[in-house]
Chains A and B, each alone.
Chain A
Amino acid sequence: MISTFDVFKIILGIIISVFILFIILRFTGSYTDISESSREVSTMISLKKTIEDVYTTGIETDFEVKDAEFITGYNPPYIETKVSMVSMDPVPLLLVPGTKISLHRNGYDIGWWKFYFIEAMPEANFLFVPLGEGNEKWSVTGNITGSLPSTENTKNKVKFGVGCNGSEFWFGWEGYKFIDAVMPRLIASDSEFSECNNTEYFREKGYVLVTVSDEMKEADFLVKPLTEDVGYVYIKGDEGYSSYVYKNSVDIAALLLGGQKLYEYENEKFFGELEVAIDVSLKKYALLAANENMNRRCGNEISGFVQTLNSIKEIVPKVKKQPKEDDAIQFAALMRESREKYGEIDTVGCG
């Protein structure tokens, strides 16, 4: 016969057991979540540190994350994962999410100013389709290749090629080799190419076709140069073509790697830094020109350079966002002029 006390013991035992089990399960669940989150945060911190190291040293490297879904998106400057968002500021980063990525520092160098940015991307294959006559298509092709990573020293490769001639194409070179060894031969032999007729094959194999032509063509990614530095990029989407004015090859690289979002982010960073660089240079040369000896030695050169910088300063607000064709051409011409004028200052030893 069970006594009242035994019944009490059984009920109390059940209540306490359930309670303990509930707490243990709850805590184990939270603890597992926390551990998982901590691991993800650690990976993100490690990725950020690697990106910063590449930015400050210029030494390229590889980085691997545990699975393809680890990075859920890149909303510049934030890299998003399931549990966190990590800002990559102040490093300008052009990121294509992937499991195995290679990180490279690239730059826009104009003598008196350098704009460094990081390109982080998985393996990729770019096939150029240069159409039309003249050598402009080759200089644009070379500039685009130079603005994308050259992966000679990393495991994850970005390769370049050229086509098409019917269904034939030539492919498999990394950046520097493509620019230094392949392109001079193509230019010297005056090679001509036509539109690729097997685009579906390239899509399936993961090639990115970059058509360079001075006429409108049916293409997924078309670069239509107006001058050596400026032109239009047309990207085919579900609702037709989107067009963008580019002012340098960094704009094209940003559009190739991440479309409009990356293009706008890259421009924001580029012009933010350019405005600081202009202000600092103007103040620097005002300081130097105030010195009698310096003014006598290179006053003329400084005055010419300062004039160009002031012109760039005036045009920057017009080209910062959605520039007009004429403004972009003027901006690119002024940037070239500033490089030449700075070269003159440097030659007389006042750089």
Chain B
Amino acid sequence: MKAQIHLMEYVLLSFFVLLIIVMITLFLTGWQMSTINSEQTRVTNAKAEFLLRAFANSPYINKNTYKEGSMLEDSKLSSINCEDLQKIYGEEWFAQIETLEFTDECTQDNYPSCGKWTFCKKEGDAIVFELPVNIYRTMTGEIDIGKLYVGLYKGG
């Protein structure tokens, strides 16, 4: 009887030692996973930020003579579409440019009396960054103030 009790003691001791090892393993794995997740978030943020800066400096929507960027040209914005930009910057993003003066979405028909351009529809959760930009009005040579929003879909 005494021997059986001792035996049980050892089995229980072994069980708890194993339990502690498993818990330590799970803790370290969990910690590693959370590090990977935070790294993933950092990467997604960096990608969204890159897209914002790439758009602000893109020769496809900026006025040609402004090499430093952030001078978007309304005639270029009205001529380029989502597919064109996706060919250069890839997929999984959307962008919007708004002037303070006009809120109408620009089309070929209402140009230049408009002040909003949307590239690729917003669908689902996204990290969005914004940046103030100048918008050059090709017809009049005037410069409006606006905002550029670029969103990257989570996991994109």
Contacts and interface: CB of A to CB of B under 8 A. Distances in A.
Q: Do A and B truly interact?
A: yes
Interface of A: 4-5, 8-9, 12, 16, 19-20, 23-24, 27, 31, 34, 38, 41-42, 45, 49, 52, 55-57, 89-90, 111-114, 116, 272-273, 275-277, 279-281, 283-284, 287-288, 291, 293-294, 346, 349-351
B50 A52 contact: yes
Contacts of B42: 45
A5 B3 contact: yes
A128 to B, nearest CB: 29
A16 B75 contact: no
- The A contact surface, by secondary structure, is helix
A287 to B, nearest CB: 6
B25 A27 contact: yes
B10 A31 contact: no
Nearest to B13: A16
24 contacts: A4-B3, A12-B14, A20-B17, A20-B21, A23-B25, A38-B39, A41-B39, A49-B50, A55-B54, A56-B50, A56-B53, A90-B54, A90-B88, A90-B89, A113-B59, A114-B64, A272-B87, A275-B87, A276-B80, A283-B79, A288-B75, A288-B139, A293-B139, A349-B141
Q: For chain B, what secondary structure do more than half of its interface residues adopt (helix, strand, loop), or is it mixed?
A: helix
Contacts of B64: 111-112, 114, 346, 351
A24 B89 CA distance: 46
B139 A276 contact: no
Nearest to A89: B90
Nearest to A286: B79
B14 A276 contact: no
B78 A287 contact: yes
Contacts of A349: 141
B35 interface: yes
B60 A351 contact: no
A291 B139 contact: yes
Contacts of B56: 56
Contacts of B84: 276, 279-280
B41 interface: no
Interface in B3-62: 3, 6-7, 10, 14, 17-18, 21, 25, 28, 32, 35-36, 39, 42-43, 46, 50, 53-54, 56-57, 59-60
